[in-house]
Structure 1
Amino acid sequence: MKALPVRARASVSLLFALMGSTMGSWAARIPTVKAHVGLDDRHWGYASISSTAGSLLALVVVSSVIGRLGPRRLALTGAVVLLVDAPLAALSRGPLPLVAGLLVQGFAANLLSTPMNAQAVEVEKAYGRRIMASFHACFSVGMLAGGLAGAAAARAHVSPSAQLATTGTVLALLLARSAAWLPGDVVREAHERRPLRARLTPQLGLLGAVAFASSLAEGTCVQWSALYSSDALGRGAAAGATTYACFSATMTLTRACGDRVVHRVGRALYVRLSACVALAGILLALGPGTLPTAYAGFALAGVGLACIVPTVYGIAGSQPGMTPGEGISVATLGQWPAFLVGPLVVGGLAGAVGLRPALLLVAVAAVAVAALSLRLREPGTPVAQSRALQRA
């Protein structure tokens, strides 16, 4: 029986790495795709809205059907569509095909995201200890690997579609080999299913708010940390890239080892402490206004923000009377607006008062996470059994 959870963990980890790798590869090839389509920055931004629309559509669909179809079926469908869509979208030579490709990409990514987190909760239950952050570490490693592969392909003058098709084929073969190891679907009967409205409990609403604030802070650091050092501090592109690398590296490393700390101190307290670390990090980065403190501050912010969302997913997926997918899908509905609101708010504030004061939004978000986490309640410790694994 011990071999089954290990295989299940490997297969779910592959889903996280697959999503990260595909997103990282796509991000690295955006300049080439943008040039091929012939869009300027403004029109590229307009086209990218279709990806956001696809993500929102997927969240609504997943929240409605995950109790009936189960996370395994949805995750596999999302993974396959994501792998197929990426090289096709990269072939776009006009705005309309690109918009369609990005719409499908956003839909597929969120069709995969919530179910694979639900699968991760099932594996965590089988292990009987906290392992949620390690799955998100696989996403981070996959995104780094995808970005490096994309950069290498660009230097070798390999077209984005060819590169994405090649990496997608490799990932598809690995997925085909490991799909049978995924936890089986625990599908609710019609009379057992809880409609979305009935799942909007105060605790899940609170978890959605924590995920929103944490994602707002994380997304702001991802999008603006490099610009802070390069532009606001005037230290150039290399310094900006190093600042982002400091944040990204500590995020990945903390996710790789964060489960031990979560297991020791408990999930609610861990979220609270992490928010305090993130707050200290961003204040260090912004306060003195020097390059060394920017490096150290964003690195510390990465430590603080790394495992908040994975921990929130773990709690949401352990709510009594709900399957993991039903709980996580509600939390992600609360989290999603952060990815739309963050860039708009920071961009607007930066234009009005400057980037350095605008980045205090991260501090505000960290304080919000710490305050909200005071009301978080632990559903209980993982149980070393899983109906989904028993059906795998």
Structure 2
Amino acid sequence: MLRIENLRKSFVLDKGEVRAVQNVSIEIAEGQFFTLLGPSGSGKSTTLRCIAGLEHPEDGEIHIGNECVFSAKRHILVPPEQRPIGMVFQSYAIWPHMDVFHNVAFPLLYGARGKKYSKVEVEKGVNEALAQVQMAGFAGRPATQLSGGQQQRVALARALVRKPKLLLLDEPLSNLDAKLREEMRVELKEVARNVGITTFFVTHDQTEALALSDKIGVIMSGELVEMGTPYQMYVRPKNKTVAEFLGTANSLKGKVVRTGDKGAVETELGAISVDLSKNDVNSNDTVYVVIRPEGLVCSHQRGAFGENCFEGTIKRSLFLGSFIDGEVTIKGKNFRALLSPHEVFQPGERVYVHVPADRCQVTR
């Protein structure tokens, strides 16, 4: 539904040229919720602004549905107001001198040139959009009397009122407090699913990306590093930098000593058994073994632990209710671990640390 091919955008500043987006290619299916995730300055918002027509790329193509809205080679540049999009900005951009109705109606009253809506059509469109975001009955409310969450809903209703093919969201939750942000994550996903709209979401927040997305793309320094489902990106990342950016990760550098489903990587802790049947690696390749904190199993007894079992010492133990945020030292190297609250772990105590092979991921 959305297809971006070899998109490139640069800015010329006093300090020289900044390559904000470098040959980015993305394809999103109809109705899919896609998140472009990256740190500040990575090029994620510039990519979204290029899709919206607010920035003019130097190269590449952008297709929305069956329509090409930008092509450098074919000299196509469809103006923003003529693209089949709705957009929610980080600041919401709510008009303070208007009530809710006129804020939502704005695209219908002053949007695409040549398109006129009757009063009845405007009222129907606004009421439908407000109902979709659970703001029915708020049409007459002045914008200055809205909470942060209500402003976000109004901005979303305004983006949906023209029934666009593509919804663009530029970090719309970043201005909300933690509790409201969590509530709005759930609501935003439900609205997108109920409307059935294809969504392009930009954020630096890993939790938002994992919670909302059907598919995630990680962008860094203008380059799309990796794409996949939330599960693939978190549990089975192919890139060490992506693994560390998407959450806390313990990593061990090593060399492949055996390939296949009974593979092994020699590390500073010793040989770690891991399934390498789906990895494109050869013997003697330098790789990283990545283990999430929740993947480590710590116990006072060695028990039935076989392979990948190491002796360690509890360095830190912070009780947080449903789990213990711990740190374990193994052969002089510290590992973050989420420990069971049903066992008592004290700093300085010796433990056995098991690293199940199926919880290890090998990256470059």
What TM-score does the superposition give when structure 2 sets the normalisation length?
0.22
Bigger share in helix:
1
Quick one: higher RCO (CA 8 Å, sep 6+), 1 or 2?
A: 1
What TM-score does the superposition give when structure 1 sets the normalisation length?
0.21
